[in-house]
């Protein structure tokens, strides 16, 4: 009976590892989708309404949730802090603190955007936000394709790895 329970636990452990990888893929898609939405809100707030940066960042955080909302709220606090330093630095620090599921290309898009926000006129910021939104959309589509292609594979590999361990150890 104990051997059977051990075999089941090993199999489930392998499946859990596979599902954790699937969860990371899905988290990236979710974060990119939320970033798209927030960037579009920022575009309206900064480019057309000409709202102050901290207020625009707070409004961008309102329509989304999770790690992405945390990122924009942290940025809003940092932008309104008198000793927060240059906004680019605040933006980069908040990217790390929010723990969004981003890959290098995604982070590069955001870092590039952080260099423009708060430094230029509304038109320049709006154009930078439009470019960033388009690039984030491309990244989200690629992430969705990758999630579809690799998601099932990771689950199956995790379970298969657990079963293989059971066979090797028993």
Average pLDDT over the chain reads: 88
CB neighbours (10 Å) of residue 148?
11
Measured CA to CA, the distance from residue 82 to residue 53 in angstroms comes to 13
Mean per-residue pLDDT, 143-165: 85
Calculate what percentage of the chain has a pLDDT beyond 70: 99
pLDDT at 9 over 80: yes
Measured CA to CA, the distance from residue 29 to residue 26 in angstroms comes to 5
Instruction: Give the model's pLDDT for residue 63.
Output: 79
pLDDT at 143 over 90: yes
Mean per-residue pLDDT, 28-53: 90
Domain of 69 in residue numbering reads as 2-169
pLDDT higher for 118 or 86? 86
Measured CA to CA, the distance from residue 139 to residue 103 in angstroms comes to 10
pLDDT at 130 over 90: yes
The region, left, alpha or beta by phi > 0 then psi within -120 to 50, assigned to residue 96 is alpha
Measured CA to CA, the distance from residue 152 to residue 42 in angstroms comes to 35
Q: Which band of pLDDT confidence, cut at 50, 70 and 90, is reported for residue 48?
A: confident
C-alpha closest to that of 46 among 67, 82, 75, 89: 75
Instruction: Give the chain's domain count.
Output: 1
């Amino acid at each position: 009976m104990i051997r059977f329970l051990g075999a089941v636990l090993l199999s489930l452990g392998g499946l859990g590892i596979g599902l954790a990888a699937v969860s990371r893929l899905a988290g990236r898609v979710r974060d990119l989708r939320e970033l798209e939405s927030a960037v579009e809100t920022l575009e309206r707030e900064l480019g057309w309404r000409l709202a102050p940066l901290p207020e625009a960042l707070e409004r961008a955080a309102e329509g989304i949730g999770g790690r992405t909302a945390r990122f924009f709220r942290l940025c809003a606090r940092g932008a309104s802090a008198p000793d927060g330093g240059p906004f680019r630095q605040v933006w980069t620090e908040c990217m790390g603190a929010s723990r969004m599921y981003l890959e290098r290309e995604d982070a590069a898009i955001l870092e590039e955007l952080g260099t423009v926000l708060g430094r230029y006129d509304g038109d320049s910021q709006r154009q930078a936000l439009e470019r960033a939104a388009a690039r984030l959309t491309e990244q989200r589509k690629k992430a969705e394709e990758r999630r579809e292609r690799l998601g099932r594979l990771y689950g199956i590999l995790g379970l298969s790895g657990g079963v293989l361990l059971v066979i090797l150890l028993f």
